[in-house]
Structure 1
């Protein structure tokens, strides 16, 4: 140990302990300040003397309680009315009652005659269906007549074809059913009018009040290059009856030659999907529609269906059924680009040579839609053979293609005409049934 320098540095003075020592010192200073502040507040609270005389010495309290101040009440010289004054006024009014009664009776008689004259209505004049009294009567009778349904709201009555008829619409749902949506109905009311007395004679059948139907608004989402055909009679020769709500499901019509040649098309030809059940048909049809959307082309579709024997009363396949009767074509043509097959081939034959429209044929369903994105031809035609199951349309969307082409299920809805039939049958059965199969 001799010859070595001795270090007298303590642990607290070491560099690694300076931070800890500083924190302890700051904590002690803060604690001291807090204790001193608490002590000061305690001393002030103990020595504080308020100005309230109740907390003063007994001498000041006695002086406060025995002090004399001026009263806040002042004398009132007005004369108050008593019960005797009221009795005197009543006797004075009774004295003049005799002369006033005759005038009141005369006035009441005149007003009754006036109201009676106003109530007299010419029976030849048409009934005012917008009258609140008529509206209230129609609502009351509808609720009394159809006790098995729950009414959501009533529409405004509209005049019927005759002067004593009014049409009214309402939304409803069966009380016993589990459906959350509301159905629509509009019926015709025959109202008897005897001077001022109104009574409902009869209420028409389901959807009999056609004047109360909601008018169809113009389509703002019109597909460029196409316009709807006028009326329900189309070029394909199909005529759909105007039943239920007004439905604008007419076939799109090409506006001009320029609009036709500037668009690209996709069509499926052949295959064994014909006359299959509806699930099979939709599975294949939505595959074609999904590929058309993926390729950004207009789908050329056949508007005729073959109804499978499982749905027919004759137990045989029935051709020539209209697509629009089973599915909501109005919604489909607004949300997607589609064109009727018959109209397309007419325009194709008319303008193909003139405008040099090209055709690209695909005969193998294994050809991926990814490869067809590079095709610049005006029309892509997928041909399907006669060998099952390779000739089913849905085979195109199998395998890797299924992750690319998505079936647009949101574009397919049930036809309004078909749902009107279901509602009409349910109304005939007073909504007392388990299920309806059409």
Structure 2
């Protein structure tokens, strides 16, 4: 019996000991498994991290942005960062040039004559010698004084530089011409206006302006045309590239053939042209200038590409010729055939860097951009990659045409330089509800009235710069504001207008006022208004470049 009890106790002890060892073993295995699991998870995470770093490194080394507008360009990377891809399908209602930017190749201030506020005039001495029985004329010092004083008060946003006062043809009437600049422009370009003033002389021999005529009403003071075609106000649309034969033979030239840029948007054309001018400056070569511009179908009334337009319709060729060394294409080709002594090199790939051509000794470098060579052969590609770090686009070379700028000033003068501007973007963006879901509704006449009444006030003069193809779309706004759109000033490009006659002189045939010209004028008007209302940010919450691309 005792033996059995002892055996039972011993068995219980053995069993308890066994269970204890088993628990220890299980705990040990669980701990080992947990450690190995933690280590495995850590290894996997580290592997993913290393892989991600490797992928990012490869992308950073090999990736080249396809869009030149996103390339680094000092002073312009912020201005042009809104363009999403190399199709250049951007806001076609504005065109930025050197007129709009405070950019210069040097830090030299503008060389301008001193501005005129009002002539120094001693009224006391005039009153002491006053004799109202003596007739007065427009050459009296008091007349000039009161005209300058009245202009400074009537046109506070203009800077005046010179005056010419002549008789208006009847008693008490003087025609006055003056040169001026708007305060907010950054170029030294001056403009001319001439108006008819009605004056009276007071009993103390002081003068008083009773009435100021409208823009260009003072026809007797109009600047006379200089033999050769242009007026002496500097509004010439021609330039001369005549050079001695020896200078031509000794020169170095850069020639860009037409390529994939031809007949594209004005934005793409200017982007490519400025790249070419930048390379010519970097290589210290004369740029061969093709004055033939192709009007893209999106700006054509016939909705088809129209080659054969003249560069001078849109840009200031005279300023470009003064700013850098250029030669007109046809003149260059005639001289080339005449002498046939210049050495030539053809560059068939835009990927050949300008730095590789820096020390080239050939007289003529031809960059061949034919799409047969490369379908993506665009001028602007030359300034991509490493070239963007040493080729700077010379925006100060490119100004808007003087003929178009004269039309801008005519509109501003008709509005007495006292107006606000609304930039209303519609066109294809308003039709694309997927990318701009609210734009069409936000720019409806009803919503425009509600928002503009708050932003600019009731019955203000309002110029609308827009790509809306139907100007009558804004007729509802005329009930609340003094609305003006470009089509309201169609007499400025009508037959026998200054613009019509000058473009006829350039081309030898009538020229249609096209969409390129409209964009240029609207862009400049945006910069002249007292208040400026933009579509994106001000009128709609849609992103400028589409959903998710603010």
Name the larger-Rg structure: 1
Q: Which residue of 2 aligns with 1:400?
A: 386
Residue of 190, 195, 206 corresponding to 2:215: 206
Residue of 356, 371, 374 corresponding to 1:371: 356
Q: Is the 8 A contact 2:347 2:368 kept in 1?
A: yes
Q: Which residue of 2 aligns with 1:428?
A: 414
Q: Is the 8 A contact 1:214 1:246 kept in 2?
A: no
Q: Which residue of 2 aligns with 1:350?
A: 338
Following superposition of structure 1 onto structure 2, how do residues 100-179 of structure 1 map, counting pairs within 5 Å? 119-121=133-135, 128-138=137-147, 150=157, 152-153=159-160, 155-159=162-166, 162=169, 165-169=174-178, 171=180
Q: Is the 8 A contact 1:299 1:338 kept in 2?
A: yes
Q: Which residue of 2 aligns with 1:415?
A: 401
Residue of 241, 263, 271 corresponding to 1:253: 241
CA distance in 2, matches of 1:436, 1:312: 18
Residue of 380, 396, 402 corresponding to 2:365: 380
Cα deviation for residue 365 of structure 1 reads: 1.6
Cα deviation for residue 268 of structure 1 reads: 0.6
Q: Which residue of 2 aligns with 1:186?
A: 193
Cα deviation for residue 421 of structure 1 reads: 1.2
Change (3 A) 1:307 1:336: same
TM-score after normalising by structure 1: 0.55
Q: Is the 8 A contact 2:158 2:182 kept in 1?
A: yes
Q: Is the 8 A contact 2:257 2:370 kept in 1?
A: no
Change (3 A) 1:317 1:262: same
Structure 1 residue runs of 5 or longer lacking an equivalent are: 1-113, 122-126, 217-229, 233-240
Change (3 A) 1:187 1:305: same
SS in structure 1 opposite 2:303?
A: coil
Q: Which residue of 2 aligns with 1:3?
A: none
Cα deviation for residue 278 of structure 1 reads: 1.5
Following superposition of structure 1 onto structure 2, how do residues 295-306 of structure 1 map, counting pairs within 5 Å? 295-306=283-294
Q: Which residue of 1 aligns with 2:482?
A: none
Following superposition of structure 1 onto structure 2, how do residues 229-308 of structure 1 map, counting pairs within 5 Å? 231-232=228-229, 245-248=233-236, 250-308=238-296
CA distance in 2, matches of 1:211, 1:429: 23
CA distance in 1, matches of 2:319, 2:304: 30
- Please give the root-mean-square deviation of Cα atoms over the aligned residues, in Å: 3.9
CA distance in 2, matches of 1:185, 1:299: 32
CA distance in 1, matches of 2:216, 2:233: 9
Q: Is the 8 A contact 1:363 1:382 kept in 2?
A: yes
TM-score after normalising by structure 2: 0.45
Cα deviation for residue 302 of structure 1 reads: 0.8
Tell me the alpha carbon deviations over residues 307-327 of structure 1, each in whole angstroms, 9 at most, x when there is no partner: 223334443333333323322
Work out which structure has the larger RCO, using CA pairs closer than 8 Å and 6 or more positions apart in sequence.
2
Residue of 318, 329, 335 corresponding to 2:306: 318
Change (3 A) 1:211 1:339: farther
CA distance in 2, matches of 1:341, 1:429: 41
Cα deviation for residue 295 of structure 1 reads: 1.3
SS in structure 2 opposite 1:433?
A: strand
Q: Is the 8 A contact 2:194 2:222 kept in 1?
A: no
SS in structure 1 opposite 2:355?
A: helix
